[in-house]
Copies of this chain bind each other. A is one copy, B any other.
């Protein structure tokens, strides 16, 4: 019979604690470290559905973006409703804030979960991928900007990310964006015929995105283009300088007036965090202020700022050793009375629930079972055979210190022994 394969660009993550370089293990540890940071900054978890009304992304991410044009997993459900697997989570969070009418309060949210985009798979980029992020709801420009950059520094430091740069820019308000767009358009028009097809279409729909062009010739043309710096207010320029001065001792942070973000809804501060260890797709974190999105989705005016983190890319960069819990390997040698032996493991779990008790379920020799216990970094093995069941004893064999002797212990003594293990 044919084997069924996983879908292209969708990966299985299987943790392997005996291999410290394992990618899945690294993803799970990265997620745990991020959650810990979000919680310690006083953020609350929000989890919106993975499926949303298709209109949500047309109205938030924008019709002109690649995400909506080519990359959405959209389909009709059994009730002929057009629904979409979310390509990102900001739109869902704001939809929820509006729908649940929790827009009367301020919020600091974090999220983590799968997203979907039908893209060409490449290093660190999959069709199903995980993103974590935060959304700060209801706070106008000010201390929220400081907090978000502070959190990025904390993430880089907690995960031991080397060679990373935080790039920041300011897009001003809607007026600034319009004025700058017009100036850029004016400058680029004479070069129009020299642009490639993609950049020509950007020129019509969203000229700011030309700044992101991968085309070398376009980048050459842009060298003398006007920069947004000349259109920004003093307050905006000061904000950038304050952020740089406040955190530059802790993190590498640069002002980059050429930085725009792929989504139309950004105004004010925008930022990206890059590492050249990632190759061409060098950003693993990005975000900015999006004060207009809530109104765009039919809600009140709510000032917001947020960021999203690509977990798979961050995991490629992170260097975390998480201290593992103590593991005890539990070895049953007789297949008679195995329920009596198993009951001992069951009872030990109640005595000290923070120890991992790994009962070896496979048949096999004592030697092969001890080998497996060592491979899993067990601190010691508990061994129970027919003789032990009959005499109400167990054998305890230390595995970490070499040459240390095994001991036979009466079953009634094991509780107090086990309580004291750390």
Chain A residues proximal to chain B, CB less than 8 Å: 1-7, 10-17, 24, 28, 39-42, 44-53, 55-56, 59, 70, 73, 75-78, 81, 83, 85, 95-96, 98-100, 102, 106, 108-109, 113-114, 116, 118, 128, 136, 138-139, 142-144, 146-147, 150, 153-154, 157-158, 242, 245-247, 250, 295-299, 325, 327, 332, 335, 338-339, 342-343, 345-346, 349-350, 353-359, 361-362, 376
Q: How far is the CB of A399 from chain B (nearest CB, A)?
A: 15
Asked, given contacts A139-B361, A299-B3, whether A45 binds B10 with beta carbons under 8 Å apart, the answer is no
Shortest distance in angstroms between A300's beta carbon and chain B's nearest beta carbon?
A: 11
Q: For the complex formed, measure the closest distance between the CB of A77 and the CB atoms of chain B, giving whole angstroms.
A: 7
Partner of A362, one of B139, B338, B362: B139
Q: Which residues of B contact A113 (CB under 8 A)?
A: 114
What are 11 pairs between A and B in contact, CB < 8 Å?
A2-B298, A4-B56, A7-B77, A7-B83, A15-B46, A16-B44, A39-B325, A51-B73, A138-B362, A245-B339, A247-B346
Given A1-B298, A116-B51, are A81 and B14 also a contact pair (CB < 8 Å)? no
Query: What residues of chain B lie closer than 8 Å to A3, measured between beta carbons?
Result: 98-99, 297-299
In the complex, which residues of chain B have a beta carbon less than 8 angstroms from the beta carbon of A16? 44
Q: Told that A3-B297, A3-B298, A42-B376 touch, could you supply 20 new A-B pairs with CB distance under 8 A?
A: A3-B99, A4-B95, A4-B98, A6-B53, A12-B47, A13-B46, A14-B109, A15-B45, A16-B44, A40-B349, A42-B357, A49-B128, A51-B116, A70-B78, A75-B75, A78-B118, A85-B85, A143-B338, A147-B342, A246-B346
> Looking at A12, A41, A85, A136, which has the most chain B CB atoms within 10 Å of its CB?
A12
Q: Is the CB of B361 within 8 A of A106?
A: yes
Cβ 8 A contact of A96, one of B12, B53, B96:
B12
Contact in complex: A13, B51 (CB < 8 Å) = no
Which residues on the B side are within 8 Å of A7 (C-beta)?
49, 51-53, 77, 81, 83
Q: How far is the CA of A28 from the CA of B109 in the complex (A)?
A: 14
Measured in the bound complex, the distance between the Cα atoms of B138 and A118 in whole Å is 35
Among B139, B144, B343, contact of A246 (Cβ-Cβ < 8 Å): B343
- B158 and A12 contacting across the interface, CB-CB below 8 Å: no
A41's partner among B2, B55, B109, B357 (CB-CB below 8 A) is B357
Closest to A32 in B: B35
A362:B106 contact, CB within 8 angstroms: yes
Identify the closest chain B residue to A107 (Cβ).
B14
Given known pairs A7-B81, A49-B128, A246-B339, the reply for A358 and B76 (CB within 8 Å) is: no
Pairwise interchain contact A4-B298, C-beta atoms closer than 8 A: yes
Pairwise interchain contact B357-A40, C-beta atoms closer than 8 A: yes
Measured in the bound complex, the distance between the Cα atoms of B22 and A102 in whole Å is: 15
